[in-house]
A and B are shown apart, each in its own frame.
Chain A
Amino acid sequence: MDLQVVEEEQAGWTVLRVYGDVDVASSPRLREHLLRAITNGHHYLILDLDQVHFIDSTGLGVVIGALKRTRSLGGDLRLVSTRQILARVFEITGLNKALPIESTVAAAVAAGPGPG
């Protein structure tokens, strides 16, 4: 399935809901979406990957890159997914220590101080 990103605002956060596989072919498009949001002044991002059935190491790289950029601008990035494979890959890479995975967008908003 082709990668699609739907954007919406919630409690001051910009939620990017992603549909489709994030792999080496499609991750540049996800990176573009994230960079565009950040460039447009959205520094508090929630990346909802719950509808992403597959993400590879390049997709993880895009997530890491966006996390670094938002934090360097005083913002933050939070991640939403209930998929086992993502939790396992985050554990394997140690990425869970830098970026916990929340189960819902509401939980991501509530996970800590936001733009408020």
Chain B
Amino acid sequence: MSTVELTIPPLSHYLALVRLVVANAALSEGSLSNDQMDDLALAVSEACANAVDSERAHGSSQPIRIVVELGEHGVAVTVTDHGGGFVAPAPTAPMPAVGDPQHLRHERGLGIPLMRRLADDVSFRATAEGTAVRLVVGIAPST
């Protein structure tokens, strides 16, 4: 298994760089389809956006760490922030009903539901200083 690591300042304009690195890392290993690569890029971008938000809310300027594990049949990406932690909605929480034309009120809050649907596995872990989110697309690389 190969690993690629990257740290970024907690600023949203670095998310394009994260997507570029994650997509190219996944591409180099060739273990994901194009659709899976799109899913992974979006899920990782959402996770990093949440990390940036958490750090801003927490007054932190610590770097956000992104670790990409490249396996034969899948990719796992872990995003770790210093944002003081948060409580993720339960995995069973329904997707907000944005589709109802009378209730188009979900201009925010789609990020985590999207992550859960796009990735094959999502786990949130509290760390001493923040949150680590692990997203798997395909089959998780064995460590």
Query: What residues make up the interface of A, taking CB atoms closer than 8 Å to B?
Result: 21, 23-25, 54, 56-58, 60-62, 64-65, 67-68, 84-85, 88-89, 92-98
Considering the chains assembled together, what is the distance between the CA atoms of A58 and B110 in angstroms? 8
Spot the interface stretch: B40-48, B74-82, B85-93.
Answer: B40-48
A25 and B12 contact, CB distance less than 8 A: yes
Judging by beta carbons under 8 Å apart, are A25 and B15 in contact? Answer: yes
CB-contact partner of B16 in A21, A58, A62, A88, under 8 A: A21
In the assembled complex, B4 has its CB within 8 A of some CB on chain A? no
B-side binding surface: helix, strand, loop or mixed?
A: helix
Q: Are A54 and B19 in contact (CB under 8 A)?
A: yes
Q: Does B98 contact A (CB under 8 A)?
A: yes
Q: Chain A's nearest CB lies how many Å from the CB of B111?
A: 4
User: Inter-chain contact count A-B, CB under 8 Å?
Assistant: 88
Q: A92–B12 Cα gap in the complex (Å)?
A: 24
B104 on the interface (CB 8 Å rule)? Answer: yes
A54 close to B41 (CB less than 8 A): yes
Q: Is the CB of B98 within 8 A of A56?
A: no
Give the contacting residue for B99; candidates A25, A65, A96; CB below 8 A.
A96
Is B110 a contact of A61 with CB atoms below 8 Å? yes
Q: List 11 A-B contacts (CB under 8 A).
A: A24-B52, A54-B45, A56-B45, A57-B49, A58-B49, A58-B108, A61-B107, A62-B107, A64-B106, A93-B98, A98-B98
- In Å, the complex CA distance between A93 and B41 comes to 17
Contact residues in B for A60 (Cβ distance below 8 Å): 98, 110
Whole-angstrom CA separation of A33 from B15 in the bound complex: 22
- Given the complex, which residues of A lie within 8 Å of B15, measured CB to CB? 23-25
Q: In the assembly, what is the distance between CA of A63 and CA of B45, in Å?
A: 18
Once the chains bind, are A93 and B114 in contact (CB under 8 Å)? yes
- Measured CA separation A96–B95 after assembly (Å): 14
Report the minimal beta-carbon distance from A105 to chain B, rounded to whole angstroms. Answer: 23
Whether B58 sits at the interface, judged by CB under 8 Å, is: no
